[in-house]
Structure 1
Amino acid sequence: MVRRRLSVEEEALWTALTRSVRPIRAPVPMPSLRHAPLPVAPLPTPAKKRLTVPPPGPVAAPPQRAPAAMLDNGWERRIRSGAIIPEMSIDLHGHSLSAAHARLNHALSAALAQGARVLLVVTGKPPKAAASGGEARRGAIRGEIGHWLETSPYADRIASVRVAHPRHGGTGALYLILRRKK
């Protein structure tokens, strides 16, 4: 693109504009290089253009197993009827987000080490005043737990995440159905 020169009028306007602009915050000084930059070798000029096959890329890691939305009919029936009995449970409500996250990872680790299949995670329900306001709200822990489970080092060991039966806390608790050991 060909650049044109600014006229005297345009240059005066540009100068006035740049003087009126103030930075939002102080500029961050750039770190100085302690070493001289490495010299860049010029690329060799090819005599002829040839088509080359690019080398094969890195082998992709197998996709992580994600929790299933539905389990088989036996699991579904047991969850709906409340016949499921969690081997372990953890109560997270009343904790700060960081403490709840750490406790969840610790409980998952312990459940997997003991070979448990169902972990009950009590997140708590939002305050009654917020729930009766007409607008549905979630608690902070309940809002974050999905992300925590997805990014957990044990994410591939979770078969499904389901809302608990009312006898185990209903919407204030979750069942984590864990996969069997490989």
Structure 2
Amino acid sequence: MVSKKYEQNKKDLDFWLEAIKSVTPLADKKYKSKKDVFSEKNIKKTIPQKEQLTFHASSSWKPKRIDNFFRGKIPGLDRSTSENLRKGKIKIEGRLDLHGYGYDDAKNTVEQFVEDAYFSDKRCVLIITGKGSVKFSKTSSGIIKQSLPAWINQGNLKNMILGFSIAKPKDGGDGAFYVLLRRKK
């Protein structure tokens, strides 16, 4: 006995073969193979000096990892809201993508973005740091990604932020953070 799925696939294949019988390739089109696209002449050999040194720090410096936030446990926040934040169920009212930013520019941009969102009465924003490049960093992930928790727990920002959590894959996964802002008093 032949399954319906097999019969349908056979019909589809027969239909496809019939449809392409009269097709002829376009003339004078030069298609590049993968080998040509990734040849050495098409790949930049050097990266500009400016991009290589976006962050200067002593070798002993390591960003502080705030473990309880990475697991979604947020002190001073009720369990329901904490879970909704961690699961990405709170509506995102603003996004900031830090791809291509250097350390200092990223920090300043985050501070300005969070302040603007707070004073605009936004409740939840998404900050996309990217996962970072191991190529330029001695750590296992990007310096901006590792530094973001420290940045938003300092100065004026810590008074504007209720908590944060790593984003769900649909919103950027390990390379993004949900940031829950306090309501203005």
Q: Give the TM-score taking structure 2 as reference length.
A: 0.53
- Could you tell me which residue of structure 2 aligns to residue 43 of structure 1? none
* Conservation of the 8 A alpha-carbon contact between 1:86 and 1:120: yes
When residues 155 and 127 of structure 1 are mapped into structure 2, their CA distance, relative to the original with a 3 A threshold, is: same
Structure 2 residue 169 is the aligned partner of structure 1 residue 166:
yes
CA distance in 1, matches of 2:87, 2:149: 24
Aligned partner of 1:123 among 100, 118, 129: 129
CA distance in 2, matches of 1:80, 1:148: 20
SS of the aligned residue for 1:86 comes to coil
When residues 76 and 149 of structure 1 are mapped into structure 2, their CA distance, relative to the original with a 3 A threshold, is: closer
* Conservation of the 8 A alpha-carbon contact between 1:161 and 1:175: yes
Q: CA deviation at 1:148?
A: 1.4
Flag structure 1 segments of 5+ consecutive residues without an equivalent: 1-66, 131-135
- Larger C-alpha radius of gyration, 1 or 2? 1
When residues 128 and 147 of structure 1 are mapped into structure 2, their CA distance, relative to the original with a 3 A threshold, is: closer
Q: Percentage identity across aligned positions?
A: 30
Q: CA RMSD in A?
A: 2.5
Superposed, which structure 2 residues align to 1:103-182 within 5 Å? 103-127=109-133, 137-182=140-185
Aligned length: 112
- Summarize deviations over 1:51-77 as a string: whole Å, max 9, x none: xxxxxxxxxxxxxxxx87253233234
Superposed, which structure 2 residues align to 1:18-97 within 5 Å? 69-70=74-75, 71-97=77-103
CA distance in 1, matches of 2:131, 2:161: 23
- Could you tell me which residue of structure 2 aligns to residue 18 of structure 1? none
SS of the aligned residue for 1:159 comes to strand
Q: Which structure carries more helix by proportion?
A: 2
When residues 166 and 128 of structure 1 are mapped into structure 2, their CA distance, relative to the original with a 3 A threshold, is: farther
